[in-house]
Amino acid sequence: MIRLTALLRRNPALSPAVFDAHWRHTHAELVRSLPRIDDWVVRYEQHPRVHAPGRWTGTEDVDGMAVQWFRDLEGLEALIKDPDYRQLVAPDEQYLLDLSSSVFLVSDEPRVIIDGHR
């Protein structure tokens, strides 16, 4: 299993509330609407930032984390090359995100250090 983890920074023209609503609804539906999405993506998670004024909630200017699970690298590559992805999702990512300052990592199976059991 391959996982793409993205620490997302929103387009500075968008407020945190507009970013979150668009990401949660519009962007999620665009991803879900791709005809072959089930061929490539096993799981897609959105982790919105906790907003707690006056309290530490992580690195400044990180607005959320997305995690996409793929069976293999070929699935990730196929998604990125897909014409429907390029026409529908990629332009929305340009609108939604500051792609130049967001951080992306493709990783392999996790090494579990603590799993809640002793």
For position 45, what pLDDT does the model report? Answer: 97
Rounded Cα–Cα distance for residues 114 and 117 (Å): 7
Sorting pLDDT into bands at 50, 70 and 90, what band is 118?
Answer: low
Nearest Cα to Cα of residue 22 among 84, 68, 83, 64: 64
Rounded Cα–Cα distance for residues 48 and 65 (Å): 6
Domain residue limits, the chain: 2-50+61-107
For position 109, what pLDDT does the model report? Answer: 87
Mean pLDDT score of the chain: 96
| Prediction pTM value | 0.90
pLDDT digits (tens, 9 = 90+) for 9-38: 999 999 999 999 999 999 999 999 999 999
pLDDT digits (tens, 9 = 90+) for 62-78: 999 999 999 999 999 99
CATH level 2 (architecture), domain 2-50+61-107: 2-Layer Sandwich (3.30)
